[in-house]
Amino acid sequence: MIVVLTGGTGGAKFVDGLRHVIPQKELTIIVNTGDDLDWWGLYVSPDLDSITYVLADRLSSERGWGVRGDTFFCLQTMGDLGQPTWFHTGDRDLALHLVRSKLIHEGRTLAEATVEIANKFGIGARILPMSNARVETRVDTPVGELSFEEYFVQRWYQDPVKSVRFAGATEAKPAPGVLDAIMSAGAVLIAPSNPVTSIGPILAVPGIVAALKRTRAPVAAVSPIIGASAVSGPAGILMTAQKLPVSITGVAQAYKEFLDILIVDHQDAKAAKDLQRAGVRVHSAHTIMRTMQDKTQLARTVLSLVASKNTAHAASDPS
């Protein structure tokens, strides 16, 4: 079993590659829920949604979120009715939010609702929220503390960030199956997701870091940082706020307690050598996923790296 820790957009691209090179039933995906929000009275879980849609082959690849070919008539009418419209939910997307909210209202846990939705969509992979408890990523800015979606979507991540915290994390438990999945994995892969606000909340749930340290499976991460910036989004700003350098070194530092292999982009080959001298096993590859071929090639590279347990030093793939 391959276990993936992931957020939404970068992670969904990585999972898209994996689902094309190994059977879905060999994949367990542990998903960040720190971005979850109450929207129009519905329970919306942006990262669970993106992972569900990509595995169901429904994700809009142009937008990187939501459903392919969706329309936005409900959103327009909600605006006419004076409701907030900054968080975009398409008409087809709304069906998922309605069903999840209904299931939770009827007493199912988030994990149970996730399984039920995945089954209806014919998804073969196992999708696990990091926790059934509510853990909320809070971003402290000069205008006050914001939820991640307020910071990211409503305010276009323009506010300077003082710090980030994960409200509710210390009392949260991993969702059933999360620790077992990590402990019994053939390999654990950390997607090229935001280390602070996508992987950070997962690591903040008590027990998960300990399992990552104890598992016999190799733990490999793909860097979402190339050179001195994030491929997209606020990862760089948030890493700076968390006192991490915005570089592959910062990514290695964020995962230092359990990381076995860091996969970085070819553009970072020189920095990779320095990092390797500091004792981290680094492999350089083509990590920008624009096409399906980019995604499947990266998935194959990562899978072959974790399969070759005895490779002690970095190598470069020929791409």
Binding interface with ligand GDP (CB under 6 A): 6-11, 13, 47, 191-194, 198, 222-224, 230-233, 235, 287-289
Report the residue number, 141 or 287, with the smaller CB distance to ligand GDP: 287
CB of 14 to ligand GDP, least distance (A): 8
Alpha carbons 45 and 33: distance in angstroms, whole number: 6
Alpha carbons 296 and 315: distance in angstroms, whole number: 19
CB of 197 to ligand GDP, least distance (A): 7
CB of 216 to ligand GDP, least distance (A): 26
Which pair of tokens denotes residue 121?
């969509």
CB of 7 to ligand GDP, least distance (A): 3
Report the residue number, 149 or 260, with the smaller CB distance to ligand GDP: 149
Report the residue number, 103 or 263, with the smaller CB distance to ligand GDP: 263
CB of 169 to ligand GDP, least distance (A): 17
Report the residue number, 105 or 193, with the smaller CB distance to ligand GDP: 193
Report the residue number, 8 or 129, with the smaller CB distance to ligand GDP: 8
CB of 100 to ligand GDP, least distance (A): 17
CB of 8 to ligand GDP, least distance (A): 3
Report the residue number, 53 or 309, with the smaller CB distance to ligand GDP: 53
Report the residue number, 6 or 147, with the smaller CB distance to ligand GDP: 6
- Which residues have a Cβ under 8 Å from the Cβ of 124 and sit 6 or more positions away? 23, 24, 25, 27, 55
- Which residues have a Cβ under 8 Å from the Cβ of 106 and sit 6 or more positions away? none
CB of 69 to ligand GDP, least distance (A): 20
Residue nearest to ligand GDP (CB): 10
Which H, E and C letters describe the chain, residue by residue? CEEEEECCHHHHHHHHHHHHHCCHHHEEEEECCCCCEEECCEEECHHHHHHHHHHCCCECCCCCCCECCCCCHHHHHHHHCCCCCCCCCCHHHHHHHHHHHHHHHCCCCHHHHHHHHHHHCCCCCEEEECECCCCEEEEEECCEEEEHHHHHHHCCCCCCCCEEEEECCCCCCECCCHHHHHHCCCEEEECCCCCCCCHHHHHHCCCHHHHHHHCCCCEEEECCEECCEECCCCHHHHHHHCCCCCCHHHHHHHCCCCCCEEEEEHHHHHHHHHHHHCCCEEEEECCCCCCHHHHHHHHHHHHHHHHCCCCCCCCECCC
